[in-house]
């Protein structure tokens, strides 16, 4: 469908949204003068792109689990808390509200049967504090306070770095939940603010001496807005555990929570694009959708310079999900942790963790030289504790409530923000050593650590028991495997390796950053006396939408845009040359400007 309308006076900019297959045209008007006359207006168009439009109706799900146990406030003992869970209650996406309902039904049934112990047939649940997790995985010990730290000590806490936590929907109580979590476990407090819709991007550099929580609301197109998304109890639980455990692992890093308005794949990828505009950092994504032929169309959003991207592999057992399947994203799998508060930890594959071999994504070069037997991209890359029955404390507060409740959380969504915190600390230590950010860390993880036996043995605990399914590749084995990747971090040694790792400017030697939108046409030619029609080609790798601004057009020239290119029409062309200045801006925040010469020859 095509429509023409006169342009307004020169100072006015016109904007027209265009669907995937439909086009809208804006026609310049004037006195029919030659190309030398001033442009009649600036024309602005927008278009959805077929290559990045995404799968219609595909919704991502949060990847958290919570144990079916009613926890009291954490105690201060050195050993983890142990309790019995309510039997028969699924842990996937279990919120406090649903747990209370299940517990109420159990009590009612017990009262009717005369059973005095409604939770007698239950699973044993162990719940860990931040101090216990830090001790189990070998994180540097937390100092008694954060004043007077040396630069090296502050770097070990992630000072000066930013962790972007991308989720859908809204948690209205995230500030209170984090403050309660910090107070209970002796973690540094965080200032907080909500980012204004007109805030300038990129953000100012993060503080090197204190934590800040910044909340940003994203539109479906990836723009800042002052309107928070709707509340959802499941996503609110996901947000709470992501924020609290990213902070527990990198206590002085800045946390930027980006809330997308819905859980559609395109909305969430545009929220990641918004993070890219905010400045270098580590992006944590605790959600997933089943992979498809569309997945690589989003790789451009995971290509910004100075950015690291991590995603949960999912909690469906042997399965592959987006975005963890992207070759530019670190896929984080899950384990079951056993730790008594001192000594060495032991781990096995958590049976619910995702992982497997992609049906669509090619085998990346960093895997082809280091792991054998995989025809395409294999996930996970790494792992961390994720079993809700070896869970970790999370503070939750329902809307309208005044009392914080505690849950024992798990899922690969719990593993992901802790790995994000680890990479933020590695970046802080690299900055203190005057080294560039890690960016995409795959080359370091695979080629410089995993492929070197001495480095690997020091930096990772090789999880070699358990499985996430019955397939031939579902069981853990020595070295790399899909349920847990290289294994779980021995944090102090891994930080040393990552601090010394060599990286390229894009963060990995195996994948190049997106070059952004580009014109593919430099010139067009027509003949006077004949209506002129031409097409200006463009590309925008990984983007789902494109904004196009055209200046320098003579009177009478019209434009329309589709995913295939920019169509130019001129019913009565004038002999001479016209230079169209065209600016392309994609939804990933990348911009380019080029000139297309239109020459009209004499008839």
Residue 150, CA distances (Å) to 161, 188, 255 in order: 16, 16, 22
- Considering the domain architecture, whether residues 124 and 189 belong to the same structural domain is answered as yes
- Considering the domain architecture, whether residues 356 and 380 belong to the same structural domain is answered as yes
590 falls within a domain: yes
Q: Last residue of some domain: 454, 474, 500?
A: 500
3 falls within a domain: no
Whether omega for the bond prior to residue 202 falls within 30 degrees of 0, making it cis, is yes
- Considering the domain architecture, whether residues 36 and 75 belong to the same structural domain is answered as no
Split the chain (603 residues) into runs of 10 and give each run's mean pLDDT.
Answer: 36 32 34 39 72 66 93 87 90 91 75 51 89 96 90 96 98 98 96 97 96 97 96 97 98 98 94 96 97 90 95 95 98 98 96 96 94 94 97 96 95 98 98 96 97 97 96 94 98 97 57 61 92 88 79 92 86 93 82 91 89
Question: What CATH number is given to the structural domain containing 582?
Answer: 2.60.40.10
Nearest to 445 by CA among 308, 554, 338: 308
Question: What CATH number is given to the structural domain containing 231?
Answer: 3.40.50.200
- Considering the domain architecture, whether residues 463 and 586 belong to the same structural domain is answered as no
Instruction: Please tell me the predicted confidence (pLDDT) of residue 30.
Output: 33
158 falls within a domain: yes
Sheet strands (E) in 148-253? 162-168, 190-194, 211-218, 224-225
Q: Long-range pairs for 115-123 at CB < 8 Å and ≥24 separation?
A: 118/86, 119/84, 119/85, 119/86, 119/87, 120/84, 121/87, 122/84, 122/85, 122/86, 122/87, 123/67, 123/68, 123/84, 123/85, 123/87, 123/389
- Considering the domain architecture, whether residues 281 and 165 belong to the same structural domain is answered as yes
8 falls within a domain: no
The H helix count followed by the E strand count for the chain is 11, 34
- Considering the domain architecture, whether residues 228 and 328 belong to the same structural domain is answered as yes
- Considering the domain architecture, whether residues 562 and 536 belong to the same structural domain is answered as yes
Total domains present in the chain: 2
Q: Last residue of some domain: 459, 476, 500?
A: 500
Q: Do residues 134 and 141 touch, judged by C-beta distance below 8 A?
A: yes
- Considering the domain architecture, whether residues 37 and 116 belong to the same structural domain is answered as no
594 falls within a domain: yes
How many CB atoms are located within 10 Å of the residue 87 CB? 14
Q: Last residue of some domain: 467, 500, 533?
A: 500
Q: Which residue is it, tokens 């004043």?
A: 147
- Considering the domain architecture, whether residues 457 and 597 belong to the same structural domain is answered as no
Query: Which residues lie below 8 Å from residue 51, measured CB to CB, with a gap of 6+?
Result: 297, 540, 541, 563
145 falls within a domain: no
Helices assigned H by DSSP within 462-536: 491-500
- Considering the domain architecture, whether residues 124 and 27 belong to the same structural domain is answered as no
pTM across the whole model: 0.80
- Which residue range(s) make up the domain with 586? 13-54+516-601
- Considering the domain architecture, whether residues 426 and 534 belong to the same structural domain is answered as no
7 falls within a domain: no
- Considering the domain architecture, whether residues 112 and 168 belong to the same structural domain is answered as yes
SS (H, E, C) 89-130: CCCECCCHHHHHHHHHHHHHHHHHHCCCCCCCCCCEEEEECH
Helices assigned H by DSSP within 303-411: 365-368
Sheet of 42-48, strands arranged across = 13-18, 42-48, 545-551, 576-586, 591-601, 523-527
61 falls within a domain: no
Instruction: Please tell me the predicted confidence (pLDDT) of residue 539.
Output: 78
């Amino acid at each position: 469908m095509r429509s023409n309308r006169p342009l307004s006076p020169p100072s006015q900019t016109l904007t027209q949204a265009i669907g995937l297959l439909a086009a809208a045209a804006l026609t310049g008007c004037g006195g029919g003068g030659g190309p030398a006359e001033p442009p009649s207006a600036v024309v602005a168009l927008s278009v959805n792109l077929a290559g990045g439009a995404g799968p219609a109706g595909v919704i991502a799900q949060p990847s958290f689990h919570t144990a079916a146990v009613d926890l009291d406030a954490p105690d201060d003992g050195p050993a983890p808390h142990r309790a019995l869970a309510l039997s028969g209650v699924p842990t996937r996406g279990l919120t406090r509200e649903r747990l209370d309902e299940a517990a109420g039904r159990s009590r009612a049934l017990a009262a009717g049967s005369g059973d005095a112990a409604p939770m007698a047939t239950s699973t044993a649940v162990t719940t860990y504090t931040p101090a216990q997790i830090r001790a189990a995985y070998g994180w540097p010990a937390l100092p008694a306070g954060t004043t007077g730290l040396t630069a090296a000590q502050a770097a070990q806490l992630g000072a000066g770095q930013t962790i972007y936590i991308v989720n859908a929907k809204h948690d209205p109580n995230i500030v209170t939940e984090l403050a309660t979590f910090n107070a209970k476990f002796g973690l540094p407090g965080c200032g907080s603010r909500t980012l204004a819709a007109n805030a300038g991007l990129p953000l100012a550099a993060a503080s090197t001496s204190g934590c800040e929580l910044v909340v940003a609301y994203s539109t479906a197109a990836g723009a800042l807005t002052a309107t928070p998304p709707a509340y959802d109890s499941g996503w609110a639980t996901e947000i709470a555990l992501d924020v609290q455990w990213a902070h527990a692992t990198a206590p002085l890093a800045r946390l930027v929570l980006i809330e997308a308005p819905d859980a559609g794949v395109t909305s969430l990828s545009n929220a990641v694009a918004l993070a890219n505009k905010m400045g270098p950092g580590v992006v944590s994504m605790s959600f997933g959708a089943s992979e498809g032929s569309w997945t690589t169309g989003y790789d451009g959003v995971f290509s910004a310079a100075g950015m690291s991207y991590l995603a949960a592999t999912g909690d469906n057992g042997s399965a592959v999900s987006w975005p963890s399947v992207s070759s530019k994203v670190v896929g984080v799998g899950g384990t079951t942790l056993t730790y008594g508060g001192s000594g060495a930890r032991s781990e096995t594959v958590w049976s619910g963790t995702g992982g497997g071999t992609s049906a669509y994504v090619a085998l990346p070069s960093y895997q082809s030289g280091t792991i054998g037997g995989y025809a395409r991209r294999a996930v996970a890359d790494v792992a961390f504790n994720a079993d809700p029955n070896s869970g970790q404390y999370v503070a939750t507060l329902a809307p309208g409530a005044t009392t914080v409740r505690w849950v024992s959380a798990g899922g690969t969504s719990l593993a992901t923000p802790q790995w994000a915190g680890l990479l933020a600390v590695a970046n802080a230590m690299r900055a203190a050593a005057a080294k560039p950010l890690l960016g995409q860390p795959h080359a370091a993880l695979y080629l410089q650590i995993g492929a070197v036996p001495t480095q690997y043995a020091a930096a990772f605990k090789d999880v070699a028991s358990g499985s996430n399914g019955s397939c031939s590749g579902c069981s853990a084995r020595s070295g790399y495997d899909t349920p847990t990747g290289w294994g779980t971090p021995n944090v102090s040694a891994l930080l040393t390796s990552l601090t010394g790792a060599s990286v390229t400017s894009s963060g990995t030697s195996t994948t190049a950053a997106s070059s952004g939108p580009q014109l593919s046409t430099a010139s067009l030619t027509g003949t006077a006396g004949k209506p002129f029609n031409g097409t200006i080609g463009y590309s925008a790798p990984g983007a789902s939408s494109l904004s196009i601004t055209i200046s320098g057009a003579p009177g009478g020239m019209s434009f329309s845009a589709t995913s295939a290119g920019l169509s130019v029409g001129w019913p009565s062309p004038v002999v001479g040359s016209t230079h169209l200045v065209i600016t392309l801006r994609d939804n990933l925040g990348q911009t380019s400007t080029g000139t297309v010469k239109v020459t009209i020859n004499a008839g």
